[in-house]
Structure 1
Amino acid sequence: MGLWNQLPALIGVVVGALGSYAVATLTERSRWRRARAERWDEKRFHTYASYATTLKDQLRVAQRIAAARGFADVTDPLDPAEGLAQLAEAESRRAAEWESVLLVGDAESIGAARAWHEAVWNVELYARGLRDGAAGWADAVKQVSHARDTFYACARRDLGIAGPPPPSGNWPRTWQHPGLDRGGA
């Protein structure tokens, strides 16, 4: 009879233990998923930032070479003979960083990153002397600026950064051209 009297208490202990185990397991699983998501968010942030920095370095070398070729809105000209070697190195660094973007980026950010580096390649054609013309140069530089803004908007969305994107970095800036309208820049 003693066992029958203790059976409800024993069942209560077993049910309590199972409930405790289930809650602890679910809590630990949730904690692990949250930590994993935070690690990937951090990895994506560093990947996007590193790629952007590398691509901007490549663009800067191309712009400096283009300045030596007489294109407007760029200072600090770089002799093409010296610059083309730097441009090749910058492209190699960009290509290596690109692989990380492909691994951790979402589809929209990858597409925006691709459009940005293709716009930089277009600027490089002017730096390499394969294209000429001031109007084409100005359009190429504007395209790079627009592609950069799009990349940052997509990357911010992927990273869950709330709020509007930063103001556009439209280039060339209106202050560089006294005759241009100063509004909206």
Structure 2
Amino acid sequence: MTFWDQLPALVGVVVGSVGSYTAASLTERSRWRRGRAERWDDRRFQIYASYGKILKAQIRIAQRLGATRNFEGVTDPLEIEDGLAELARAESERATEWESMLLVGDAATVEAARSWHEECWNLELYARGLRSDAAGWVRAEERLSHARDRFYLCARKDLGIAGPPPPSGNWPRAWQHAEPDGATDPGTSAP
């Protein structure tokens, strides 16, 4: 047999080898990308959830200080000196977690998170005694609630969580509004 007689078989072996190598490479690359995306989705979920918990704790401290300053709709007053120290610690934790948020968050979620913590800072102005009007406190809580809803809407979208977002936690809640005779429910507290 001559070389020319064996050439079609040799070309077939080379083409088969190249095809097999290409298919294996593409499959492995796709598997690696999918695995990396899953790891980052999990990490983003953890960071978003952690940021929400830390900010919620900071908000709760501000609300408890607001209760001490006799703002409506919150209970469980906290001594001013103790509360201010807790608020400073909570802000330090939030600021540290913010760096992770900036690293892994998409632009819309980072923007929503920034709005949420800025509304928290606004509420803290009341908690610290730098603002004192009761109507302003209620508006600050309402804006804070809307910012929180927007953060979770953006985070869910970034994480690819299907379905409508959970119902809004509009704050203050309807059950906290004054009764027709002007009395309020004594058992009101923040979520």
- Under a length normalisation based on structure 1, what TM-score does the superposition of the two structures give? 0.95
CA distance in 1, matches of 2:175, 2:140: 19
1:125 aligned partner: 125
1:34 equivalenced with 2:41 (yes/no): no
CA distance in 2, matches of 1:28, 1:75: 57
CA distance in 1, matches of 2:72, 2:97: 29
CA distance in 2, matches of 1:49, 1:20: 43
2:113 aligned partner: 113
Where relative contact order (Cα < 8 A, 6+ residues apart) is larger, the structure is: 2
Shift of 1:5: 2.0
Q: Which ranges in structure 2 are unaligned for 5 or more consecutive residues?
A: 181-191
1:57 aligned partner: 57
Amino acid at match of 2:155: A
Q: Deviations over 1:26-75 (max 9, x none)?
A: 00001111111111111111110000000000000010011011011111
Shift of 1:4: 2.2
- Residues 93-172 of structure 1: matches in 2 within 5 Å? 93-172=93-172
Instruction: Give the share of equivalent positions with the same residue, in percent.
Output: 68
How many residues are treated as equivalent by the alignment?
Answer: 180
CA distance in 1, matches of 2:27, 2:72: 60
CA distance in 2, matches of 1:37, 1:80: 46
- Residues 43-82 of structure 1: matches in 2 within 5 Å? 43-82=43-82
CA distance in 2, matches of 1:91, 1:108: 22
Shift of 1:172: 1.1
The alignment partner of 2:70 has SS state of coil
CA distance in 1, matches of 2:177, 2:84: 29
Post-superposition, which runs of at least 4 consecutive aligned residues in structure 1 deviate over 3 A?
none
Amino acid at match of 2:154: C
Shift of 1:178: 4.7
Q: Which ranges in structure 1 are unaligned for 5 or more consecutive residues?
A: 181-185
1:14 equivalenced with 2:6 (yes/no): no
Shift of 1:3: 2.5
Shift of 1:162: 1.1
Amino acid at match of 1:41: D
CA distance in 1, matches of 2:8, 2:25: 25
CA distance in 1, matches of 2:66, 2:97: 24
